[in-house]
Amino acid sequence: MRPRWYLLRDGFLSYRAFIDRPRSLPLSYRLLREDRDRTTAFGREIPASFFAFDALHSFDLPQLLATSQAEGLIVNPQDGDWQRLPEAVAGGLLPPRVRTVSSDEPGPRIREFLDGVLGP
C-alpha cells in the first residue's frame, strides 16, 4: 500500500543545504587551542551519515518527493545554517503538490492539511 500523504517537520529540503552554509561554514575552519576539552561540541556540523547513497551525484530530496503521488506538507524546513526557510523559498524548491508552512505557530495549517487528507 502506498502512502496517501506525509508530513515532514524541521528538516532539510535539499542535500545541498549540507554544504551551502554561508553563516556556519567559516566556523568549521577555525583553529582552537590544543588544551580544549576534546569532547566539547564546537559547532553544529552536518553529520556525514546524512549523505546517504552518494546523493549529491544521484538525486536530491525535491526530486525524490516529486516521484510520490502522495500529498505532502513540509513544516518549518531548515537551511544549511539550521535557520527556518521562508515559505516562498521552500516552495520554489519543491514540486507543486507539496505544500510548505514556515511559522512559529504552524498548528492551524497542520490541522487544515490533516483535515484535508484524513477527511471528516
Ordered strands of the 5-9 beta sheet: 5-9, 71-75, 98-101
Mean of pLDDT values over 64-84: 91
Where in the chain are the domains? Answer: 5-26+46-118
Select from 50, 48, 63 the least CA-distant residue to 11.
50
Mean of pLDDT values over 37-58: 61
What's phi and psi for 5, nearest 5 deg?
-155, 165
Select from 26, 39, 32 the least CA-distant residue to 81.
26
pLDDT range class, residue 38, cuts 50, 70, 90: low
Question: In this model, does residue 111 exceed pLDDT 80?
Answer: yes
pTM recorded for the entire structure: 0.73
Tens of pLDDT, residues 12-26:
888 777 777 767 666
pLDDT range class, residue 51, cuts 50, 70, 90: low
The predicted structure's pLDDT at residue 49: 64
